[in-house]
Structure 1
Amino acid sequence: MREILTTPNLINFLTSLADGDLNIATELVWLIIATALAMVGGAIGGMLLAGKDIGYQLSAMLGALFAPAGVIPAIFLGLIALNFLTNY
């Protein structure tokens, strides 16, 4: 495990991720993190809004599925705008 964490490629990737450098790898990681957070938030919101009506499990599942539908395009466009602004 120690060999994996001390690989120069992984160290460079984590450094660029922490520094805020935007390249295709860091943009994909930020997109995955945003999608996961949107799914958690959608599940919590679904449970709060419709938990008593249709059941907590179903409302959490629907909230987790529908929340990233609005978040993924917004994050993708935001990352494109940030990449454009950092280049010019």
Structure 2
Amino acid sequence: MYSAEVLLPSGKPSNSMSRCQGELCVTIRVDRSMQEFLEAEAREFGINRAELIRRILDDYRDSRREKLDCPHCDKPVVMNARE
């Protein structure tokens, strides 16, 4: 298991731990500041960048399924990437 936690923007630890050892590669393009942010976050949590992105996507998927609760009011947090 992993020794680092991923925190949500609220500061709450992520409920999901990525267990995916994936066989498929997904490529994204980001600007330099986003690359630096991802690298710094991954380094802080002691994981690689791919694992950080997997964990972020796990939380996004949970959010879209209304399975990610707000730590303050316990209502579902639903993120919308279109906005």
TM-score normalised by structure 2 residue count: 0.28
Higher helix share: 1
